[in-house]
Amino acid sequence: MKPIYKDILGSISRGEKLLAVLIDPDKMNFDKVSNFIEKVNRSVATHIFVGGSTVDENMTSTLVEEIKKHTKVPVVLFPGDITQITSKADAILFLSLISGRNPEYLIGKHITSISKLKETDLDIISTGYVLIESGAETAVERVTRTEPLSRTNIQYIVDTAQAGELLGMKLIYLEAGSGAKVPVSEEIISRVNKVLNIPLIVGGGIKTKKQLENAYNSGADLVVIGTAFEKDESFFDELKK
């Protein structure tokens, strides 16, 4: 097993900021994988996340296998469903949607996934997944049938994240939803960061270098970007400047 979580802690202790490129198997054209991954290899990205809210069975496994042929960047599963678990990746975010009250996404799917996970050598990283409202309904909301947390009730978001840490989760992920109109605010990131002793991931709707820097400066340890790279691959170069 590759110690992905340990490496994340190591990077953070050296003051490094991490960037994950999110690849949604549902949106990635298989013929374009090698070209896209070459760009990732030359970019400042430190991780590749693979996952989506609606992905056909077995698609993830084939895609991860192809990605792995072209890169040494760690591949972390960010699964929307059990069918997205594959031994071909290095790690998995074992996500519990702690902002929601749907038992399936809090613990149900996790139990069903055990037999599959036992057959893999993935670094399993327990992650408190916190969905925050972002102006319009997102796919995560629709698929999980959960309400996102209000952007204005920041104390409740902070307490949710802290409860996740106290339950033993190893990461907290503040999510505005893929393609979100508005990313998670700097104030939310900063207030959550103040109470946490575990790494903080932030994603959803980040599409400019400025927004990325703001998230880092507010306390995000790892930022996830998907849509901005999907729409315009020159964004990889933009981030190097």
Question: In the set 50, 122, 206, 220, which binds ligand 1GP (CB under 6 A)?
Answer: 206
Question: In the set 28, 227, 235, 236, which binds ligand 1GP (CB under 6 A)?
Answer: 227
- For residues 220 and 224, which CB has a smaller minimum distance to ligand 1GP in the complex? 224
The number of residues that bind ligand 1GP (CB under 6 A) is: 14
Site membership for ligand 1GP, residue 224 (CB under 6 A): yes
Q: Which residues pair with 171 in a beta bridge?
A: 127
- Residue 10 annotated as part of some ligand binding site: no
Q: Give me the residue label for tokens 């703001």.
A: 214
Q: Answer for the pair 132, 174: CB distance below 8 angstroms, yes or no.
A: yes
Q: Which residues pair with 38 in a beta bridge?
A: none
Q: Answer for the pair 58, 83: CB distance below 8 angstroms, yes or no.
A: yes
Question: In the set 204, 215, 221, 235, which binds ligand 1GP (CB under 6 A)?
Answer: 204
- For residues 175 and 221, which CB has a smaller minimum distance to ligand 1GP in the complex? 175
CA gap 161, 70 in Å, rounded: 36
- For residues 133 and 175, which CB has a smaller minimum distance to ligand 1GP in the complex? 175
Question: In the set 128, 148, 164, 226, which binds ligand 1GP (CB under 6 A)?
Answer: 226
CB of 232 to ligand 1GP, least distance (A): 12
Per CB under 6 A, which region of 95-103, 118-126, 163-171, 173-181 contacts ligand 1GP? 173-181
x-or-dash pattern for ligand 1GP, window 16-55, by CB under 6 A?
------x---------------------------------
> Any residues with CB less than 8 A from the CB of 10 and at least 6 apart, and which?
none
Contacts 24+ apart (CB under 8 A), 148-157: 148/99, 148/177, 149/99, 151/182, 151/185, 151/188, 154/187, 154/188, 154/191, 157/99, 157/130, 157/132, 157/188, 157/191, 157/192
Q: Cα separations (Å) of 195 from 12, 76, 155, 159, 163? A: 16, 26, 11, 9, 10
- For residues 196 and 215, which CB has a smaller minimum distance to ligand 1GP in the complex? 215
Q: 165: burial class by Cβ within 10 Å (0-12, 13-18, 19+)?
A: middle
x-or-dash pattern for ligand 1GP, window 121-160, by CB under 6 A?
----------------------------------------
In 138-189, DSSP assigns E strands to 171-175
Site membership for ligand 1GP, residue 174 (CB under 6 A): no
Report residue 188: phi and psi, to 5°. -65, -50
- Residue 108 annotated as part of some ligand binding site: no
Residues contributing to the site for ligand 1GP (CB under 6 A): 22, 175, 178-180, 203-206, 224-228
- Enumerate the known binding-site residues: 24, 53, 173-179, 204-205, 226-227
- Enumerate the known binding-site residues for Mg(2+): 24, 53
